[in-house]
Structure formats: structure tokens, C-alpha cells
Amino acid sequence: DQQVKQNSPSLSVQEGRISILNCDYTNSMFDYFLWYKKYPAEGPTFLISISSIKDKNEDGRFTVFLNKSAKHLSLHIVPSQPGDSAVYFCAVDSWGKLQFGAGTQVVVTP
Amino acid sequence: EAQVTQNPRYLITVTGKKLTVTCSQNMNHEYMSWYRQDPGLGLRQIYYSMNVEVTDKGDVPEGYKVSRKEKRNFPLILESPSPNQTSLYFCASRRTGDKNNEQFFGPGTRLTVL
């Protein structure tokens, strides 16, 4: 039962433009929402997170938006850089129990 | 260097032969967790541990065992591996109370069960 969905398996964006990644979840009891980035042959690395009591969190080029009524999470990367090419996973954390989406492969083109 | 280490990094085995994948962290983190990554499914949590001697099931615990006797180690045990446990496995740790809920992941263990 997939409670976290990333409906876009891939995204291609031009360098310098904005990348928008989306994630939907079903359970309104999740208390923390996270984004991880993964390069091939490496473990995922933490990117940014947001607690359920907020609707926006920003860290440099990365901004996460949380729309609780729509049960929707998004990640904005601006401007996109070639080093951003990776697989991005959204995750929801419910007191230590985590569920991840299937991931979105982002390719940043020159 | 602060890190999560996993051993072995690659393993090919046969059905039914017991194996253990070790995980160790040097950050004094209370929380540790195991995941498996499969194509099209993302990462799925197998087991997690909030602290020493405390373990809980994730979404896919069947066929796996864990133990948390010490804070730094969290081994994953497959008592009787089967081909459907062929996967890429990740261990992770986190400090309890971290403001970002950030987990640090190991480099992964690629397991093939024939």
C-alpha cells in the first residue's frame, strides 16, 4: 500500500531554470516530510525537510512547500545546476517509521 | 570522519544460507534503520531502532531480523535468504531530536540471492 507517491518518474530541466518535484501522501498523521537526493552507487543524502506545523522551508536554492489540505509536498530548486542531476526521493516520517516515494530522476541539461 | 559503514558492500549467496550485513555508525546516534531499494519502489523500511534494545518493524520486515545490543551497531540478519530478497540495502542513523530529522545513510550493500 503505497502511501507516498511521486507521479513523475523523470524530469528534464535546463540549467538555470527552476526544477519542481512533487509528492503526494495519503495519511494526514505524518509529522515530518523530507527530501533526499541520490547519486548512483551512493547512499541517499539529506536535502531539506519540513515539519507538519509549517508550510514552507527554505535552504539556499532549495525550498520545500507543504500543502496539508491537499496532502501534497513539493520541492523547488532554483536555479538548477548540472550537479543537481540525481534521483530525488520524498519521504514521510511518522515517529521513526519512514515511507519513501519511488523517486524522480532529474536531468539538468546545459 | 562521521559516517555510517556497511559490510559487505557486495554479496552473492545461495538460497537458505544465513547471512548478516553489518552496520556501524560513529556519530553516537540513538536511531538506526534498515531499508531496501528496488526499482520502481523507492526505499522501503525493513526495521528501525529508536535506541539500544528497542526495535520496531518497518513496512517490509518479513524474512529479516535485527538486533540492537550496542548503540553503534545494527546488524541485519537473513536467516534463510530467498531470491526475492535480492536488493540494494541501506543502513541509516539519526540523532534523536535533530531539528531536521535528518538521517545519514551508509553506502549500500548489494545482495544477490541465487
| The pLDDT of residue A1 | 66
CB atoms within 10 A of CB B110: 15
Question: Minimal Cα–Cα distance from A43 to chain B, Å?
Answer: 5
Residue of B24 and B40 predicted with greater confidence: B24
Q: From the CA of B51, how many Å to the nearest CA of chain A?
A: 11
Q: Is the pLDDT of residue A95 over 90?
A: no
Three-state SS at A78: coil
Give bridge partners of residue A8 from the DSSP assignment: none
Cβ of B108 and A42 within 8 Å? yes
Strand order in the sheet with A19-25: A4-5, A19-25, A72-77, A62-67, A56-59
Nearest residue in B to A32, CA atom: B101
Q: Does B50 touch chain A (CB under 8 A)?
A: yes
Q: Is B97 on the interface with A (CB under 8 A)?
A: no
User: Are the C-beta atoms of residues B61 and B46 closer than 8 Å to each other?
Assistant: yes
Cα dihedral B80→B93→A58→A82 (10° resolution): -60
pLDDT (tens digit per residue) in B69-88: 999 999 999 999 999 999 99
CB contact under 8 A, B90 and A97: no
Please say whether the beta carbons of A2 and A25 come within 8 A: no
Which residues, other chains included, contact B95 with Cβ-Cβ below 8 Å and sequence gap of 6+?
B27, B28, B29, B30, B31
CA–CA distance, A4 with A95 (Å, rounded to integer): 16
> Among residues of chain A, what percentage have pLDDT more than 90?
85
Nearest-Cα distance to chain A for B93, in Å, is 11
Say whether pLDDT at B99 is over 90: no
Question: Nearest chain B Cα to A2, which residue?
Answer: B41
Host H or E run for residue A109: strand A104-109
Cross-chain Cβ contact A103/B108 below 8 Å: no
> Within 10 A of A92 (CB to CB), how many other CB atoms are there?
24
Question: CA-to-CA distance for A107 and B94, rounded, in angstroms?
Answer: 29
What's residue A28's pLDDT? 79
DSSP for residue B70 = S
Contact of B106 with chain A, judged by CB distance below 8 Å, is answered with yes
CA dihedral A9, A13, A16, A18 (to 10 degrees): -50
pLDDT digits (tens, 9 = 90+) for A19-69: 999 999 998 788 899 999 999 989 999 999 999 999 999 999 999 999 999
Distances (CA, A) of B58 to B27, B29, B43: 23, 19, 11
Helix (H, G, I), strand (E, B) or coil at A32: strand
